[in-house]
Each structure stands twice: as C-alpha cells, then as structure tokens.
C-alpha cells in the first residue's frame, strides 16, 4: 500500500449479551454502592466490616454471572465468554449454531492423528425461552402459509 491509501475497513466485532442480565448488574451495582456508602458513614463495628466484605463477595458473584457472559463475533471467529471460561472458535471450525435455552455452538476440527474432534460449547450470554422459540416457529409457519400459493394474504378476509 502506498501512503495515500488506507487499509481496508475491517468490520467491527459484534457483541451479543442478555440485556436483562446487564440491567440486573447495574441495579445490583447501585444497591451495593448505596449500601457501602451507608456502611462507611454509619458502621463502626466489626459486623459492619463483615457486611461490607460479604457485599463485595456477592457483588463479584453477580458480576461474574451477569456482566461477564457475552458472545463476540468478528472476522476471525467467535469468542464465547462464560462466567468461568473463555472459548475462541475460528469460523472454519463452526459446524452449526443451535438456539436452545442457551446458544450452543457446535464445532469440529482436525486432530493430529487424522481424525476429527467435535464439541458443543454453550454460551450463557443469550437466553431463549421455550415460549419465545414456539412463538418464532408459529410466526415462521404463518409467513410460510401466506407465501404459499392459495394462502391467505391478509388475515381471514384475504387480499
């Protein structure tokens, strides 16, 4: 490349996480900060110090379970960040992605002995309830029925 040419723009990574979990984290963080301020102002006993450490312990657990999980997709592959472990999977190894209650990434890769290894990695980041899955299936069936020849185009009265 010459000095006047810019490098091609790389697409930005997309991050997927549960908005509900993020909201829970921020609500808990506000609660914890308020309680720590209250303990710092009013608490002068050993019990106050125990309560502060307990609050910090619970805050770290809430952070680990609510704020840390995410699924990051970039040009090189997927990064699955779960509460206790991170997984990096290249796009070539991804065989499929299932949307069960948790997102499940099915992977296959070649082994040194000539065989293939496979694994399914669940992501805590994005949840899908059975109700949402059933509603999505019903919407897809209705769209397919409308698009089929002889299907009704608009409600019970047709088009």
Q: Which residue has the higher pLDDT, 76 or 101?
A: 76
The model's pLDDT over 128-151, given as tens digits with 9 standing for 90+, comes to 666 776 777 788 888 888 877 765
Q: For the segment 79-125, what is each residue's pLDDT rounded down to a tens digit?
A: 999 999 999 988 888 888 887 777 888 888 777 776 677 888 888 88
What does the domain layout of the chain look like in residue ranges?
Answer: 15-67, 70-132
pLDDT at 146: 82
**CA dist 96 to 4, 72, 114, Å?**
41, 16, 22
Written in H, E and C, the secondary structure of the chain is CCCCCCCCCCCCCEEECCHHHHHHHHHHHHHHHHHHHHHHHHCCCHHHHHHHHHHHHHHHHHHHHHHCCEEEEECCEEEEECCCCEEEEEHHHEEEEEECCEEEEEEEEECCCCCEEEEEEEEEEEECCHHHHHHHHHHHHHHHHHHCCCCCCCHHHCC
The 10s digit of each residue's pLDDT in 38-63 is 999 987 888 988 999 999 999 999 99
The per-residue pLDDT for 144 is 84
């Amino acid at each position: 490349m010459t000095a006047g040419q810019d490098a091609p723009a790389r697409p930005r990574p997309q991050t997927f996480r549960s908005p509900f979990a993020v909201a829970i984290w921020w609500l808990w963080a506000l609660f914890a900060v308020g309680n720590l301020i209250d303990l710092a102002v009013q608490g002068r006993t050993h019990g106050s110090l125990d309560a502060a450490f307990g609050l910090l312990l619970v805050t770290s657990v809430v952070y680990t379970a609510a704020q840390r999980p995410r699924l990051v997709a970039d040009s090189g592959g997927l990064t699955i960040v779960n509460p206790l472990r991170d997984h990096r999977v290249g796009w070539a190894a991804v065989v499929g992605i299932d949307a069960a209650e948790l997102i499940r990434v099915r992977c296959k890769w070649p082994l040194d002995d000539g065989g293939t290894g496979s694994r399914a990695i669940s992501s805590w980041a994005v949840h899908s309830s059975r109700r949402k899955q059933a509603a999505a299936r019903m919407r897809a069936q209705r769209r397919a029925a409308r698009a089929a020849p002889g299907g009704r185009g608009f409600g019970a009265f047709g088009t």
